[in-house]
Structure 1
Amino acid sequence: MSPSTGPRRIATIVEGHGGVEAVPVLLWRLAAELAPGAWVDFPSPHRIGRDSLVKPGGIEAAVDQAARRTAGVSGVLALFDADDDCPASLGPELTARGESALSGIPCAVVLAKREFEAWFLASASSLRGRQGLPDDLEPPAAPEEPRDCKGWISEHRTDGRPYKPKIHQPGLAAAMNLAEARAHSPSFDKFCRDVAALISPES
């Protein structure tokens, strides 16, 4: 299997139902900002549980399957929560394992530190008044440190209803300020840099 010479077509892997809709939102926003006018495509993500991805042989099987199911694939991106693992160590390890299964197709594995929702905390001031959040919402001092980012969002909603990823994640991904998130979340900055590399015609 070799990279396509046509448009940059990136197969994606996510772990949650919310990510199936939210991650493409982020990808299209980033493509428009990082490579305006670039010929790119992001087919609907493949959803695979985190435990399956990190087990021996898991990421290898996942990226191979995603690549084979995506006609004209030119790169594979996997995104899931780090939970208590260190993104800076586990991410590169899984990327190397994924690349070994792809025969020359670029691969990136990104772990959102703690949770995907930490990226919303990192850009919280841009989400004021969105998805039930208050108009005076303030971001936490260290947005990637809370263990329960989903709980943080639920606690700050003004309607008393809990945050639900499948319902609220896509809308928050569409509204979040990307520059603010990059400035306050190293794992989101890593995600942006990896996306930029995957959609580059030279990759």
Structure 2
Amino acid sequence: MTAVIAPIVEGHGEQESIRLLLTRIAEQFDLDYPQVIRPIRRRRSSLLSEKNDELGRAVQLAALKLQERCEELSSGLILILIDADEDPPCILGPKLLARARKTRGDADVACVVATVEYETWFVGAAESLRELLELQPEEPPEDPEGKRAGKGWITKRFRGPKYSETADQPSMTARMDLTLCRRRCPSFDKLCRELEARLSRRDAG
């Protein structure tokens, strides 16, 4: 089973938050805690472009980092986390996954496309973030992905001077209700399922 995770992300906020998010998911859903390597960050446009194959280089680097920590590469996971933005997740995710697997067919790779973006997951758990967000009685939307509620939605309701991905994503990641987010955001549920498929359950003995 997976013991080490090497994330590939696009933003500074995700780079600072992904380790906390993955360990919180493991704790919430009774999974063994993974060792999360310092994330590899590349610009979204670079990861999407096939011209210079920045994704391939990032995958190679992630595989090398896993090999430094795992007796067998197959006991680690390369996790690609990227925002959908305007791209259809059902097309973008499989396309990136196929490219990554072509680069390192000997590695376990998963690709999760946050619909619409990482902040959409905060919208899905907004009630648990009232300390940071000013919400109306009818908020948040029950289907934040369908409503395309993301960074703009969070920024408009943020209680601080100005929402900053790098400064505020970690604190919001630490506070968000993961179960609520999983119910409302299918892309977050996919992330949880990818981990559940690879991490042993703590109660399994």
Taking a change above 3 Å as real, the CA distance of residues 34 and 96 of structure 1, as seen in their structure-2 partners, is: farther
Match of 2:63 among 60, 67, 74: 67
1:168 corresponds to: 168
Distance 1:184 1:178 in 2: 10
Q: How does 1:118-137 map to 2 (within 5 A)?
A: 118-129=120-131, 131=132, 133-134=133-134
- Aligned partner of residue 79 in structure 2, secondary structure: strand
Aligned with 1:112 (options 111, 114, 129): 114
Conservation of the 8 A alpha-carbon contact between 1:60 and 1:101: yes
Q: How does 1:26-105 map to 2 (within 5 A)?
A: 26-36=21-31, 38=32, 40-56=34-50, 57-70=53-66, 71=68, 72=70, 74-105=76-107
Contact 1:114/1:146 (CA < 8 Å) preserved in 2? no
Local SS of the residue matching 2:117: coil
Please give the TM-score of this superposition, normalised by the length of structure 1.
0.85
Deviates more, 1:189-198 or 1:174-183: 189-198
The one-letter code of the counterpart of 1:151 is G
Q: How far is the alpha carbon of 1:32 from its aligned partner?
A: 1.9
Q: Secondary structure at the match of 2:159?
A: coil
Q: Paired residue for 2:151?
A: 150
Tell me how many residue pairs correspond in the alignment: 192
Q: Is the 8 A contact 1:106 1:198 kept in 2?
A: no
Rounded Cα–Cα distance in structure 2 between residues aligned with 1:144 and 1:22:
20
Q: Distance in 1 between matches of 2:129 and 2:10?
A: 24
**Which TM-score applies when normalising by structure 2?**
0.84
2:178 and 2:12 mapped to 1: Cα distance? 22
How far does residue 136 in structure 1 lie from its aligned partner after superposition? 5.7
- The CA RMSD measured in Å over matched residues stands at 2.2
Structure 1: segments with no counterpart, 5+ residues: none
User: What letter corresponds to residue 110 of structure 1 in structure 2?
Assistant: V
Check 1:98–1:16 CA distance in 2 against 1; reply closer, same or farther (3 A cut): same
Whole-Å separation in 1 of the counterparts to 2:33 and 2:26: 9
How many Å separate the matches in 1 of 2:174 and 2:80?
A: 20
**3-state SS of 1:107 partner:** strand
Runs of 4+ in 1 over 6 A off after TM superposition: none
CA contact (8 A) 2:7 2:40 kept: yes
SS of 1:99 mapped into structure 2: helix
Residue by residue, what CA displacement relative to the aligned partner does 1:141-176 show, whole Å, maximum 9, x if unpaired?
A: 4312455622211211234x2210111100111111
Distance (Å, rounded) in 2 between the aligned partners of 1:162 and 1:125? 20
- The 8 Å contact of residues 35 and 196 in structure 1, kept in 2 or not, is answered as no
**What letter corresponds to residue 162 of structure 1 in structure 2?**
K
Kindly state the Cα deviation for residue 54 of structure 1 after the two structures are TM-superposed. Answer: 1.1
Identity %: 38
Query: How far apart, in 2, do the equivalents of 1:84 and 1:148 lie?
Result: 12
Instruction: Give the direction of change, closer, same or farther, for the CA distance of 1:171–1:200 in structure 2 (3 Å limit).
Output: same
Q: 2: CA distance between counterparts of 1:103 and 1:157? A: 43
Say if 2:13 and 2:166, in contact at 8 Å, map to a contact too.
yes
Q: 1:31/1:64 Cα in 2 relative to 1: closer, same or farther (>3 Å)?
A: same
